[in-house]
Chains A and B, each alone.
Chain A
Amino acid sequence: MIKAGQIEKGTALLFKGQPFICVEREFVNPGKGSAFVRVRLKSPSTGQVLRETFKTQDNVENITVEDRDCQYLYNDGENFHFMNNETFDQLEVPMASFEDYQYLIKEGETYRVTFWENQVLEIQIPTKVIFEVAEAEEAIKGDTVTGATKNVTTETGLVVRVPIFIKQGERILVNTETKEYLERINK
């Protein structure tokens, strides 16, 4: 048991008999009231996200999870296929449970995968990831407005809003939580 105030992004909980991963947490102190925490809990089996409010002093049931290094191989449109780097076992993870992840994970890369009783609870994606720009519109000539931006698509299919000087083939650093461009990576 832990106090709800200790829940963090990534904390695994057993809630109403089901495992959940906290994907978002915010503290709320209503004016003249007790302290609460508002969380979004994602079910790794269904992808369903619950929005729950706890008092920070409420007890919640945390579960012990295990992280294993797994290489992402490919997806078949329904499942991600991973290989456990230690045992070389292959595993399938339903894509529906990890919406958007297909645009953030790269084939051949190794990720920390969180397991609870052989169920995948989370694929840990670093907050900052370097992507290659696969497609970029040409900047419109004469567009010299400062702060002008355009959309580019990365090799994973992620669409990112970037400054107009970014060209196809260049590498960019992206915040995977906000999907925002951070900086250009110079070779």
Chain B
Amino acid sequence: MSIRQLFTKKSSLLYSRLMDINSIKQRSLLAKNIRSWFEDHNYLEVSTPVLSTHLIPEPTIAHFSTRYISEFYQQRDLYLVPSPEVHMKHIIRETQSSIFQISQCFRNREQIGSHHNPEFTMLEYYTVGADEVDSIAITEQLMKETALEGTQEHLLPPFNTMSVSEAMYTYAQVDLEKTQSLHSLKQEAQRLGLSLPEQSESWEETFHRIFLQFVEPNLPQEKPLVLYDYPMQIECLAKQVPNKPYKKRWELYAGGIEVANCYDEQTDKEKVREFYTQQYAQLIHQRSNSDEVIPDIDLDFIEIFDEHFPQCSGVALGFDRLLMLQGGYNRVGDLMLFNVSDMIHPIR
């Protein structure tokens, strides 16, 4: 085929999916409502890079990498950010102010399903001086005052709350405080009839088997649900609940779907260092014999947690999922214009 022929042949690609004009307008309106809400509440809107030189070690997230090429500089790998967290925390330390951002995030290996897409839009906001409990009220107010017209009642505040341990006990009869060892948790999984693989797995993996099979599908949906106090074995940059094996972290479920994640942010430099060391070791261990990206790690990030880093609580909210729920769509994919799924096909 000649180049001329290539460009005269009509491509069916662009027309394969009908553009839903209404969803384009709803996306614009929801973003506008959210921006103006944060402006009214004295949050500074920030804009951080999508293309980054360093990331933080997160072994459960697969990354996209690309390469910078120039005649004047050394070549180097750059990464598409899986979340704006790192850069935003640098800004928090410098400005000491509450900030927010609506930005594109990228996660590789993300399957193109009804609630996932390798590229998605995140609303991330940090409130200085607040903890994770304050963030519940902030998020309730935000969702109440910015919701699109016609949003169903069960997706709107007030939120219900339930601890992860209560949910595990109610729906799987698993007592989290008595199953802190991997051995005891595995026994519970077997009691529930789950078949565990022969190869060893972590506490987090066995926990999620139980949680996803028995708990998550049964969570009450009459109102959005804040599920709080996550097991400390699920590593994250949230503070520890004093004297309990939990982290000060919550997830918001609306319509049965996970829409937001919140921490009382870890501000202790040594704890952050510990997280880095442990997570990076795991990442290297998992990826060294695979073609998975091992990103360069942002070591400066540890250094920002000095006496000037303020107490704060951050929320990462899936903007596309929120739009999907409020607009009454069934799939996140319905809202993605020029969706990669139109061009990527399953392996047969």
Contact = CB atoms under 8 A, between A and B. Distances in A.
A27 B195 CA distance: 19
Interface stretch (A53-61, A114-122, A158-166): A53-61
A34 B204 contact: yes
Interface in B185-230: 195, 197, 201, 204-205, 208-209, 211-213, 216-217, 230
A77 interface: no
Interface residues of A, number: 23
Contact of A34 (B60, B115, B347): B60
A32 B212 contact: no
A53 B110 contact: no
A36 B115 CA distance: 13
Nearest to A38: B212
A31 B197 contact: no
B211 A58 contact: no
A35 B118 CA distance: 14
A27 B110 CA distance: 8
Contacts of A35: 60, 109, 111
A26 B110 contact: no
Interface residues of B, number: 31
B23 interface: no
A33 B197 contact: no
Contacts of B216: 28, 30
A33 B204 contact: yes
B211 A26 contact: no
Contacts of B201: 55
Nearest to B59: A34
A94 to B, nearest CB: 26
Contacts of B258: 30-31
B116 interface: yes
Contacts of B251: 31
Contact of B111 (A27, A32, A51, A55): A27
A59 B204 contact: no
A137 interface: no
B152 interface: no
B197 A55 contact: yes
Nearest to A15: B195
Contact of B113 (A27, A32, A58): A27
Contacts of A53: 209, 212-213
Interface of A: 5-6, 8, 16, 26-38, 51-53, 55, 58-59
Given A32-B58, A34-B204, A55-B205, 16 more contacts: A5-B111, A8-B346, A26-B114, A26-B115, A28-B212, A29-B107, A30-B216, A32-B235, A32-B236, A33-B234, A34-B208, A36-B208, A36-B212, A51-B217, A52-B213, A53-B212
